[in-house]
Structures are given as C-alpha cells and as structure tokens.
Structure 1
Amino acid sequence: MQTYAAIATVETGEFQNAQELASIWGDLRQDLETQECELRDAYILLGESDVLMIFDGPDRQAVLEASIAAQRYGINMKTMEAIDVEDLGEVVEDV
C-alpha cells in the first residue's frame, strides 16, 4: 500500500459547529475503508486548510474514489502521494 496525504477544506455552511463535523468522521472513515484505504492519522488544522489526513491506499484509483466519497460530506481534498524520507534514496536511484 502507498501512503497519501490529503489537505482538506470543509465547505462553509455544511457544519454549524465542531460537533457536527466530528459526527460524520465515522462515516467518512467507513467510506475510505470501502475503497480499501486505511486512515492512519487525521488532524484539524488552524489556518487556510481545515483537515490533514494521512492514509494508505492500494492505488491511485482507490484514492481518487475515496476523495470523491469525501465530497458527499462537503470535504474537498487535495491528495498527494507521500514518500517516506527513509525511501528517498530509492527514488533518487530510480531516476
């Protein structure tokens, strides 16, 4: 499985407060799992973006489908493939 990082924004007006946002978190996690993605960590951010999620996915197609599923909850994800710093040497050798 490959690791991905998603920086997300929550659409204004979708949630009245933090409790409402927290209430959908289990459903969102389940939707990720439906796409065979495993949520490893999630953080609420203070600033330009609202959420940071770190998750594993089997391939880009599954991650794309997980991102589309998050849209149903008013969460817009910008997803990026993440490479562990320990694996950086292998990436350089491949180039």
Structure 2
Amino acid sequence: MPTYAAFANVETGQFQNAQELASIWGDLRQDLETRDCDLRDAYVLLGERDVLLLFDATDRQAALEASIAAERYGIELQTMEATHVDELGRLVEDGT
C-alpha cells in the first residue's frame, strides 16, 4: 500500500484545548479505516502546520476520501504521496 503524508491545519476555534483535539483521533482513525486507509502515525507540530499524519492507503482514491473525511473534524489536509528513502535505489533502477 502506498504511504501518504498529510500536513494538517486545525480550524481556529474548533477545539478549546489539547484534550479536545486529542479526543477526535480514535474517531478519525476509525473513519480512515472505513476508507481503506491505515493511520500509521500522527504528530502535533510547532510551526506553520498543526499536525502531521502518516497513513497507508490502498490507492489515491482512498487517500482523497480520507482527506475529505478529515474535513468533517475541522482538519484541513494537504496530502502527498510519500516514498521511503530506501526505495530510491529501486526507482533509479526502474528509470522512474
């Protein structure tokens, strides 16, 4: 399954504190799983973005559906397909 990285911004005013934000992760994980995605990791960030999500998805359609689903939780995602650095050699050999 391809891996995706998603930088997320949380809508201002959507959550009053860190506990409220943390409370949605179980629901979000379950919502992603119903869209053939597996949330591997989630990190809270300091800086321009609020959260980094790493998830596996069966295909781009599933990743798109996951991004749309996250919007319901007040989370705007910028999702990108990610390739592990160990795969770079294989990509060069394949000519891609």
Tell me the TM-score normalised to structure 2 length: 0.95
**What stretches of structure 1 of length at least 5 have no aligned partner?**
none
3-state SS of the aligned residue for 2:27? helix
Aligned to 2:56: 56
Question: How far apart are the structure 2 equivalents of 1:66 and 1:23?
Answer: 18
Measured on the aligned residues, the alpha-carbon RMSD in Å equals: 0.8
Paired residue total: 95
Aligned to 1:20: 20
Partner deviation per Cα, 1:52-82 (whole Å, 9 max, x = no partner): 0111000000000010000001100111100
Question: How far apart are the structure 2 equivalents of 1:91 and 1:42?
Answer: 27
Letter matched to residue 50 of structure 2: D
Structure 1 residue 73 corresponds to structure 2 residue 63? no
Question: How far apart are the structure 1 equivalents of 2:45 and 2:66?
Answer: 20
Runs of 4+ in 1 over 6 A off after TM superposition: none
Deviation at 1:89, TM superposition (A): 1.6
Aligned to 1:87: 87
3-state SS of the aligned residue for 1:79? strand
Tell me the TM-score normalised to structure 1 length: 0.96
**What stretches of structure 2 of length at least 5 have no aligned partner?**
none
